[in-house]
Amino acid sequence: MQLKFFTDYGLRVLLYVAANDGRLVTIDEISRSYGISHEHLRKIVHKLAQSEFLATRRGKDGGMSLARPASEIRPGDVIEALEDVRTIIDCDRDPCPLRGVCRLRTALDDARDAFIDTMNKHTLADLVGGETGAKLSELQPAE
């Protein structure tokens, strides 16, 4: 019931990029800004690009931006893409004497759906800024 560091920062990367709307942001900037490993962050960004949440551009003055508007990216979808969330327990892994009687698996599946659905009531846009409409750049100058 903890998100992986990977997923946690996956969300934060997207929020950071959303808050710096428009501008191309580099891995280096984010890793310095959050104080986390450049190398590990690289893998997070790569996965986010593969999952089509980020668009990346190589080369000089490259960097990343959101692949879609922040108001169209839902955090539950991001979690599903970064975290293995499909089955919370595996009833087939070991012989289970309760098989056929037990509805634990169904209940857990429903609960997982409730989790994701609740996250998907939001978008990146309203998680960062929201009503106040504040931009990151106005609050905390990068570096």
Question: What residues make contact with DNA under the rule CB under 7 A?
Answer: 4-6, 26-28, 36-40, 42-43, 45-46, 49, 56-64
Cβ-proximal residues to 83 (8 Å cutoff; 6+ apart), any chain: 3, 4, 6, 7
In whole angstroms, what is the distance from residue 122 CA to residue 85 CA?
Answer: 19
- What x/- string results for residues 60 through 99 when contact with a second copy is judged by CB under 8 A? ---------------xx--x---xxx--xx----xxxxx-
Q: Are 54 and 17 in contact (CB under 8 A)?
A: yes
In whole angstroms, what is the distance from residue 141 CA to residue 75 CA?
Answer: 25
Task: Tell me the closest approach of the beta carbon of residue 133 to DNA, in angstroms.
Answer: 27
The amino acid at 143 = E
Residues of this chain that bind a second copy (CB under 8 A): 1-3, 8, 11-12, 15-16, 19, 33-36, 75-76, 79, 83-85, 88-89, 94-98, 100-104, 107-108, 110-119, 121-122, 126-130, 132, 134, 136, 139-140, 142
